[in-house]
Amino acid sequence: MVSKKIEQGWEKAEAQIDLENPTEALEILREIDADATHSKTWRLAAEAKVIQARQSNNNKGLFKEAVRHYESALKSNPNDKTARRNLNSLRSEMDGLGIRAGGMNVLWDDGAPTFMGVIAIVVAIGLSLVSLKVIPEYFAAEEVQYDYEATMTISYTPNNGLNAITANVVIGLNAEEAPIHVDNFVKLAERGEYNNVIFHRVIDDFMIQGGDFQNEDGTGGYAAEFYGYCDGNAEDNPCTYETQYTIPDEADNGLLHDSCTMSMAKTNNPNTGGSQFFLIPEDSNPSHLDGVHTVFGQIISGCNHVTAISEVPTGQQGQDRPDNDVTLISVDIIRTVSNSA
């Protein structure tokens, strides 16, 4: 049984979608159904993401997020014909733009196989004929290693701009070189700690820093769990308070502070990283941080937005704080097979 609050929220979100205000629609959906337990929440979120993608010059990452949201709607309610119809329409649009949708294809529609379903059946039969050979070889292979890809959805007002825009920054996370840092970041992101947290420190030609979900001013934020350190000190037992959780440095991992990379913020003391991180724009190469701070990600899409954010006006609310909030709306994590596997 759907509550009246959720139904009213859906109506408000649909109204914002009709007005092409996707960010407002997503905020409403997060407020009324934070855990996304209803199929319609996923479907409306997908519709909002499609609008964001179109408004962001057909952003590939946002289109793919919309596909995943539609798939989640269908997983929750396979009879949601609107979600199925919209997903098929979106896939066609993406094909026309040369964007590979990824994810699952809709194989069945109203009890009958689609074109992709027929192909899947033929492929399945063919695979079954060679399974006796393929399966043993598969299990004999080395265990697959995994890396992660993080998509940051960020709202900011460009320098000399009048209105805020929403952009995607996609980051490949280096799990092999910085396993603890990546594990910590992924867990914080999946818990939603980074949702609607500002980038509190922005310095042109240097970096943009955020992730302080506790105080949003650079004085707070902590690790996702106990990694053996409390306020930078190695401990055998968990910290007294979770706000003391920090992670050990992994700075000597061979990764450098090149342009378009992601690194862990911390105090001047070692092993004090928690939840704060910084992104390096296209015009920066702070090599003096190499071996001190831990690089654990590479920006693979959207670094131009990081550069644009680094150039926004600052100072009215604090020395390096943007005059107009730069907000990390969400961080979506995708697990991908590592190239090193």
What is the pLDDT tens value at each position of the chain, 341 positions in all?
788 889 999 999 999 999 999 999 999 999 998 888 898 999 999 999 999 999 999 988 888 888 888 888 888 888 888 888 888 788 878 877 877 655 444 555 545 555 555 566 666 666 665 554 444 444 444 444 457 999 999 999 999 888 999 999 999 999 999 999 999 999 999 999 999 999 999 999 999 999 999 999 999 999 999 999 999 999 999 999 999 999 999 999 999 999 999 999 999 999 999 999 999 999 999 999 999 999 999 999 999 999 999 999 998 777 899 999 999 999 999 987 654 44
- Residue 177 in tokens: 């070189």
pTM above 0.75, yes or no: no
| Tokens encoding 49 | 């993401």
Q: Please tell me the CATH superfamily of domain 4-106, with its number.
A: Tetratricopeptide repeat domain (1.25.40.10)
Q: How far is CA 240 from CA 193, 225, 231, 263, in A?
A: 21, 12, 11, 27
Q: Are 232 and 195 in contact (CB under 8 A)?
A: no
The pair phi, psi for residue 49, each rounded to 5°, is -65, -35
Q: Which two tokens stand for residue 301?
A: 């899409």
CATH fold, domain 146-337, is Cyclophilin (2.40.100)
**What are the respective helix, strand and coil percentages of the chain, to the nearest 5?**
40, 20, 45
Query: In terms of residues, how long is the chain?
Result: 341
Give the pLDDT score at 127: 60
Q: Do 4-106 and 146-337 share a fold?
A: no
User: What confidence score (pLDDT) does residue 137 get?
Assistant: 47
Q: How many CA atoms lie within 13 A of 340 on its CB side?
A: 9
Domain-by-domain residue ranges, the chain? 4-106, 110-141, 146-337
